[in-house]
Amino acid sequence: MIKTLNYLIVTCFGIGSIRFAPGTITSLITTVFLYSLFHIINLSSNTILIILLIVFICSFYAVSEYIKLSENKDPKEVVIDEFIGQSIPIYLYEISHGTVKDPQEAILFYLYIFILFRYFDIKKPFPVNFFDKKFKNSFGVIIDDVVAGLYVVLTLIIFMIIKSTFL
């Protein structure tokens, strides 16, 4: 039972078992899922934060237990880290400025966030690559995607500063 639950968590209910680009597919589904929570269901940002924190905390245990049984310490089917990493910039975008976001503008920013996150997750610039290579445990599996998500946030902040300064 626990083994099955861990599998469902680390693979985001089996998405990680898809043979072609499971990380990208998970990031895309995460983007659509969060858009739905924020703009269709209109769930409060505090409720979404609680959901994301629960997933974040539970994922450390689930990934740890899952990789104990694997020779590969960062198996391809483990995609909960993509869910977490993709969620960080989307959540921070949604709560920024304390204003309600226009759904059309949000779609555009979600697209930027999705593309930037996939770029940083695949290219793994420092320190993303440091965490990916140095820590061969659940911390390393998850934290490199957290850092990639924070790179997205930093990139968007720089873009917004440049835009407000020069345009």
State the pTM of this model.
0.91
In the predicted model, residues of the chain with pLDDT beneath 70 are 72-74, 98
List C-alpha distances in Å: 97 to 47, 69, 100, 113, 158: 18, 44, 9, 17, 15
Q: Is 149 helix (H, G, I), strand (E, B) or coil?
A: helix
pLDDT on residue 76? 85
The answer to whether 27 and 77 have CB atoms below 8 angstroms apart is no
pLDDT on residue 63? 92
* Domain count across the chain: 1
Q: Looking at beta carbons, which pairs linking 4-8 to residues 24 or more positions away fall under 8 Å? A: 5/62, 6/61, 6/62, 6/65, 6/66, 7/66
Pairwise CA distance, residues 32 & 110, whole Å: 9
Q: Domain of residue 93: give its range.
A: 2-166
pLDDT on residue 73? 61
